[in-house]
Amino acid sequence: MEILSMGEKIKRKRKELNMTLKDLAGSRITPGQISLVESGKSNPSMDLLEYLANDLNTTVEYLMESEETQAEKICLFYQNIAEAQILNSDLLQAEQNIDKSIYYCEKYKLEYQGARNLSLRGDIYMEQHDIASAQQVFLSANVVFIKNNSYEEIIKTLLKLGKITLKLRGYQSASSYFKQAEKVFIDNQMGNDFLLGEIYYYIGYTYFKLENIENAIKYSYLAKEKFNQINSKNEYANSLLLLADGYNKKGDIKNAIKYSKVTLKVFKEINNLTYVSEIENNLGRLFYEFENMEESFIHLNKAKEIRQNTKDLKLIDTLANICENYIKLKSVSKAKEALKHILDYIEDGNNKALFQYYLLKYRVDLLEDNKNEAENTLLQALRFVKEQDKLKEAAEISIMIGKFYVDGGRSIDAAKYLNEGVELFKKLGVIK
């Protein structure tokens, strides 16, 4: 892309129209005067510019547009392309277009556009899971956005910083970023309902993580209302889902089920199978807590079917929930069948799923009154988590083994594993 001076624009337009200097000059001025304007050695008056624009079939605005303004437009073009490529996970092409934008920013000293390039670079770092680098460039970009009173960019950057902090489980810090975003929005009367809905959603989500359930429900409701108001169905459904989680956490199963069903309806409308399966699975769990096993199986089997068809890695979670249902019903044969299905779907390297399998198998062994197998399963699980260096899980299983031996009257063995569990929890800082 080219950036042209006023004289270069005039010259190019003249040549496109196959006009000579004499043709353009007409009776208005001399060809020599036109030549001086084209070479940048003379600045035309407004009257002359209007004359030239008319003869060249263009506008005065086009001729007067500064090189800096042209550079800004070029930067914006490359930034828009890069943003679309990031959304499409084409990160290499996105980086190349950001580099092109950076070239013009540096050449024409475009501070604001430079900050936008930093922000886009941060988005790439996020996609690459380079959290530290993303955080650094977002903070740098925000200094410029604040300096330029670019309130919408400030809010968006605060949201990104909050999301990063959520990933790092710094929930208090994340809450601070989201509340700052809310303050900037309200103080400056932004008028972007989607952005406000997003702020409300993340404040609610963070309160949920902080186990401040009342505020989690409050802000989830505000997000729901805002997204419903602007007919943003995907975000509306996400807010409903958060609201359902809030009520579930609060122990209000009735409202949790109510909002889960509404959420499910909306996600089905937008054909989002990932979320549909998630909600079907959650409803299955909720009805389990409600001890409505028939309804629980209906929803879990729907989740299972969707996750099988879409090859969703969360299929293991659904199969585990189905197994738990059968354990609750004391159906040994069905529980063992569900365990087999879990093993069939566990892929190499999925240590979390394998750990989940061991715990379920232990419960099935006890249900079957096979004490020897239950003991072997727990010992096998302990060896496995130790090999994976999972200290928390090792502590939990050591305590489970200790309690198992207590129930079996094996006090010496019980003491050994209970002490081991306590020492591991001390090492983790859980016990002082």
At residue 144, the pLDDT reads: 93
| 115 belongs to a structural domain | no
Are 178 and 258 contained in the same domain? yes
| 420 belongs to a structural domain | yes
Rounded CA gap, 185 and 154, in Å? Answer: 9
At residue 348, the pLDDT reads: 60
195: domain CATH number? 1.25.40.10
Instruction: Reduce the DSSP state of residue 129 to 3 states and report it.
Output: coil
| 22 belongs to a structural domain | yes
Asked whether 380 and 397 are in contact (CB, 8 A), the reply is no
Single-letter amino acid code for the residue at 151 = Y
Shortest CA distance to 213 belongs to which of 255, 171, 251, 165?
251
Are 313 and 424 contained in the same domain? no
Whether the CA torsion 249, 255, 260, 263 is positive or negative: it is: negative
Are 350 and 313 contained in the same domain? yes
In order along its 432 residues, the chain shows pLDDT tens digits of 667 777 787 788 888 889 888 888 888 888 888 888 778 887 777 787 788 788 888 887 777 777 888 888 888 888 888 887 887 788 898 899 899 899 989 888 889 999 999 999 999 999 888 989 999 999 999 999 999 999 999 999 999 999 999 988 899 999 999 999 999 999 998 878 888 988 998 999 899 889 898 898 899 889 888 877 867 777 777 787 788 778 777 777 777 777 777 777 777 776 677 777 887 887 788 788 778 899 899 989 989 998 988 888 888 899 999 999 999 999 999 999 999 988 888 876 667 788 888 999 999 999 999 999 999 999 999 998 888 888 888 999 999 999 999 999 999 999 999 999 899 888 888 776
At residue 27, the pLDDT reads: 80
Are 60 and 166 contained in the same domain? no
| 264 belongs to a structural domain | yes
- Last residue of a domain, which of 16, 48, 65? 65
| 116 belongs to a structural domain | no
Whole-number Cα distances in Å, 420 to 214, 322, 337, 366: 39, 32, 34, 23
| 387 belongs to a structural domain | yes
Are 255 and 162 contained in the same domain? yes
At residue 69, the pLDDT reads: 82
Are 156 and 238 contained in the same domain? yes
Instruction: Report DSSP letters for 39-94, one per residue.
Output: TTSSPPPHHHHHHHHHHTTS-HHHHH--HHHHHHHHHHHHHHHHHHHHHTT-HHHH
What domain count does the chain have? 4
Helices (DSSP H) in 270-292: which residue ranges? 273-289
Instruction: Reduce the DSSP state of residue 191 to 3 states and report it.
Output: coil
- What is the residue range of 416's domain? 370-432
Are 244 and 300 contained in the same domain? no
27: domain CATH number? 1.10.260.40
Are 156 and 262 contained in the same domain? yes
| 427 belongs to a structural domain | yes
Rounded CA gap, 267 and 270, in Å? Answer: 5
Q: What angle do CA 290, 252, 326 make, to 5 degrees?
A: 20
| 332 belongs to a structural domain | yes
